[in-house]
Structure formats: structure tokens, C-alpha cells
Amino acid sequence: MLLVVGWDGASLDVARPLLSAGDLPVLAGLLERGAVRPLRSTWPAVTFPAWTTFLTGCEPERHGLWDFTVRRGYAVEFVNASHRRVPTLWARMSASGLRVGLYAVPATYPPEPLQCLVVCGFD
């Protein structure tokens, strides 16, 4: 089983003092039994494009999302998962027959029509 925990806007520098103080016991337990590695963010380090980069493995140049909005002529609209130009990693995993579940992952609404469990969140 693979469990990935993402904490939007935080880093290990933010988490370490909280872990040491005993404020995050569940996360501390997961880290004791697993592995933790820092993840370099993308540019721009904005929630929607950064999470989309993480979810697809592609930079904004490929997935097409640079901010929370896109321009259509003079109109501006908020982006959602349907604006992505490339498939997500879980779409590829699901297509390979792997069981996938996502809970409250940013940049996932609306959910893709896949054979996996997705509870959209943060959008």
C-alpha cells in the first residue's frame, strides 16, 4: 500500500517543530513507520498549478494551469480539473488495473469518470 499525505502550503520546516512538540501524533506515527522526503514545488508556487504538477508529473507548460483562473478573451473563469491537458497519475494507475483512492486532494473537482474512489476537496 502507498499512502501519500500532502499538506498544502507547508514544508518539513513547518511540520518538524509541531511533530517535536507532540502536536501531530498521527502524522508522527506515519512518519516513524514510513519515509518522508521534501518535495520541491513548481513555479508558480500556487496551490492549483502546484498540485496539478504533483498529480500529473508534468510542469505547467504541459498541463496548462498557471493560476486559479484562466482567461477566455475578456472573460476570466476559475479553473477546475477539467482544464487539465494531461492525465493524472491515478488515471494511469487505474487504467493499469491498480486500485486507487483519493480523499480531499486539491485540483480534483470535477472527478474523472474512472474506476477509483475520489472524494474531491479543497476546490
The total number of structural domains in the chain stands at 2
Nearest to 118 by CA among 97, 96, 94: 94
Question: In this predicted structure, what is the pLDDT of residue 103?
Answer: 87
Structural domain including 29 reads: 1-39
- State whether 58 and 12 are in the same domain: no
Nearest to 83 by CA among 67, 97, 101, 64: 64
Instruction: Yes or no: say if 9 and 123 are a contact pair by the CB < 8 Å rule.
Output: no
Question: In this predicted structure, what is the pLDDT of residue 122?
Answer: 66
- State whether 75 and 111 are in the same domain: yes
pTM, full prediction: 0.81
- State whether 32 and 74 are in the same domain: no
User: What residues are paired with 101 via a beta bridge?
Assistant: 117
- State whether 107 and 50 are in the same domain: yes
- State whether 30 and 54 are in the same domain: no
Intervals of the chain under pLDDT 50: none
- State whether 105 and 70 are in the same domain: yes
- State whether 12 and 58 are in the same domain: no
